[in-house]
Structure 1
Amino acid sequence: MLARVLKPLGCSLARKVCKNHVHHARTLALTAHRLVHSEHNEDQRTTVTLLNKEMGDLISVDGVSQFGFHLNTGVVVVGPMAVFPRTVLGWNVGSHTDITPASLSLFSIMEPRLDCLVIGTGDRGTTVSRDVIAFLRQKRIGFEILPTEQAAATFNFMNLERRCVAGAFIPPVDVRLLDRDLEQLEKVRRRELIDSS
């Protein structure tokens, strides 16, 4: 049953996204920041630390697009994924309506038991059925059910805290573009126009 729910990622598929789709992909960067104010600084400055660079050998989700996920390891996962602190698997679900107790069965048999399962349901306004919530409570698995963009950031923070966490994420259809993303998209379009001339 688990073989139908989870599928291994092929290296060629996971490492590259087709060039034709690059200008269509809308990506939200998920770089987390930690602000630290130190009493020991003489000039009382606040420092910013990029948490994604502190992850070391742990996996973090650096970006979310309509096609999948960009990881800090340089891997691009196409489609839904199940992610753990050091492992990523393809997750065979189509939408939030396909999230069932059967599709989450892997997370219930893990040892040690998960502190938290972060479920990214895709777009805002989507959620899971009551059966799923009852299943997770019966198995005594802590859970967070959020839109995928927020779920990925939550997974990153929990993973950095070295908690026993896993994520189950569906790519959103509607990804909000930030100002810097719009600037980057415009640069790509300009380069394409110059290259085609």
Structure 2
Amino acid sequence: MKKIVLIILCFIMCVSCQSQQKTDLEKVDFAKGYKEVLKDTKYQTEAREIVTTLPVAYTKDVAGFKFGNITFPEHKENNVKSSAVGLLINNTTERLTKGIKIELEDTAAGNDLLAYLKSQYKNPKVLAGIPAKNNEGKVLGNAAYSWNLKDKTMVLVQYYEYTNNKPNTSSVLYIVDNQVKTADGQETAASHLLKTYTP
């Protein structure tokens, strides 16, 4: 009887440990379908992500995700700050994962992400530097950084803004397959992304 109880307890512990493991977006295999990566979350799809022009499936249910050692602040209904995870899809017919988009509406999390990227991938190419203060002494605008990986391009954009007259930096990380084309097929999504954030 004791052995049966012990086996049941071990099984419960193993199942609970597995359910607590987060999906590491840094290691997502682009050969996986977006539904497999977003399983266990409520997600929505949109025909076009605004910058890459690719279809996107996204969720604000970010508790089950991380990027390396960076976890994401969770969305709370009454909180202005939120996070989202999106998977960029090559087209609406094949629906192959070709990129990742991570949105962080939290200054500390965004700064941690930038520091992590620099530690793992070395110094980035600066597409746009941190904006200068305006006449009111406020920093408004965006900075953008890129890393050219073997078969992917990674771009981190940090938006400097004010919410309720308090400074806030929101961050968006894109990781895009270098071969995937924009919706119109005129250029790669990676080159379009780089052009968008290069002044």
TM-score calculated relative to the size of structure 2: 0.29
Q: Which has the higher helix share?
A: 1
Larger radius of gyration: 2
Q: Which has the higher strand share?
A: 2
